[in-house]
Chain A
Amino acid sequence: MKIRNRISLSIGQSILLSTMSIVSLVLLVSSFVYFMAFSARTNVLVENQSREINKQIVLNYESYIESIIETANYIQRFSLPLDLKTDYEQLQNLYTLNSQLKKDVVAIFLFNEEGLKLLGDRIGPLSRNYILSEPWFTGALSDPSIFHFLSSGKSSLAIDRKDEVISVAKQVNYIRGGISEIGVLLIELNFQVIRDLAEMTNLGPGGHILILDGGDALIYTSENPYELTDRSLDIAAEHVLGGLKTNIEGRNLFLNINTLAHTRWRIATLINIDEINAVRRSMLPVFLLIFAITMVTTTLVSIILSLRISLPVKQLQRIMLKIEQGAIDTEVSVKGQKEIVMLGHSFNSMIEKIRVLMDRVVNEQREKRKTELRALQNQINPHFLYNSLDSIVWLAEHERSEDVVTTVIALARFFRISISKGATFIPVSDEIDHVKNYLTIQSIRYVDKFTYSFDIDERLMSMNVMKLILQPLVENAIHHGLDEDGGVIEIRGRLEPGWMFFDVRNNGYGLTEKRIEEIQNYLEGMGEAGPGIGVGLRNVQQRLKLYYGENAGLRFSGHSDEDTIVTVIIPLAKDSAS
């Protein structure tokens, strides 16, 4: 399997990237779903609303129609016991009164089977054939069980009325001379009622009401002037019944067709739904705004979040880098996320452990060195002892008893100071005595080969110093630095603020700068010793560093062909001053 190359991202970038992608995905999906749901909801809402409006309109018409039928039934009921012959006045009153009572009833008539008017308002000079051929008349006779509604655009039969009417006819029985006969009851309704009822509702721009008869012919449209009616009529005729979303000449309309009770008529309402669509469209910018706000907020939050996570990590990283570079004492103190803080703590304790371990190692090493050096320092140059004893023998042979005594005393004191009951530090005065004893012995041995002098600051005398540091320098000066013709060794002790210096100067060839560098390197433990430098000097150097720290040590200086100065540099610490 191949491992795909991935672009390596920082924590912050990954958080930002993943958050943004999740949020935008969720947002897009939810917006889409919501918008769809909203659209569906508004569709349902539009449909329901349109249906309710349609129902209300139909109910308005229906209750009107019902009131007319009630009137007809009322007339019938009251005429049931009345005889046209004997109760003519009463019947005529019933007819005229009812037509006057209802303001939208233009006239009420009763015709007999031959088309002859029996009761009701005065009618114009019409031939009986005219009545007989009227569709409402024939309809009523052909089906006695229903009311026949007819709108033919004609005006009232009544002589004094010119209103356009709707004819409502029903076959009825009437009694004439005790005999039940068949007749036709005609109620003429003012067509204006239809208009008035239609105008009660606002259906929006382009919205209108159509009333269709049983043959899909237009009885009434509320549209004025006609613009959409032709088209809407076709659609209504085709759809017959029910609701339908449609578009006529760029207008979104909801068409609803319902039956009108007691008639074969249908009422179609066309309601403008553009406004609701506009509402839906207006949702889009709202969605965009929500989207934008959410994205900005998410970006900010994720940036803050990623910073809160990555900053402590970076801080930690910085501290770790510092520690890596050696600053092991650096305390890790990270503020921020709990995990990072804990990581910091863990790191701290780890560093602490490392530090302890390192300290232990260092201490062990130092102890080891101390032991080693103590052994070194306790070592007595066997050559020196041999030579000294040899010269004592030689002095004794030449009966220089005084010199023998001096040498033996010096040797004894030399060793006593060397040992110093095992102490590491001794007073400067003792150290100087030590050197003096050594010089005493050597000067007796190498008669007149060199002279020496001391110049020690009195204040130094009581101070403690690491023992056996000067003797090796002097030894070195005697062995390597002396002229054939009488050398001079000067030992000087200086006290400066914070520092103690001991110079061991000898005249002689001196050292070149290159040589000084070589020696210095050798002392530091690097490079070859070369001629004129013994193990003793390095021993001193190492001991100085070991006890007094890095600032302490030996420094070579001098002038070529003139003299060489080896300076012991000791920083003053509190304990060494006492």
Chain B
Amino acid sequence: MPQDKLKNAAGLYNLTRDLGGAIALATIGTVMNTRLHFHWNRLIEDINLARPEVQHFLDMRTNHFDGLIPGDAGRAALKLLANLVQREALVLTYNDVIMLIGGVFIAALFVMPLVRRPRTTPVSPGH
């Protein structure tokens, strides 16, 4: 009798872990999409040509690229700036998601008092 309960429980237990993983990855993917969008929008608010720093950055890079690569050096500089913003937005997004996972773990600690004390003497199923 106990053998079949044990087998059933082992299946269910592995299923919970796999589903936990699948749900986590789906949530992470979704949160990353929205947060990336959010951070990107917030970062590019400050990136406009009215600010001298931005203009300076672009000028410097345009000069740098000029002659170094064929084609429009100004466009290359702009592309570089976009990549930088994208990268920083990604970094912020990763940090958000990692904090979220940490938060889930903290929340899980609050359920711990409900767990009954497991017996200290080992029980022997399957006899």
The answer to whether A and B belong to the same complex is no
Contact surface of A with B, Cβ cutoff 8 Å: none
Contact surface of B with A, Cβ cutoff 8 Å: none
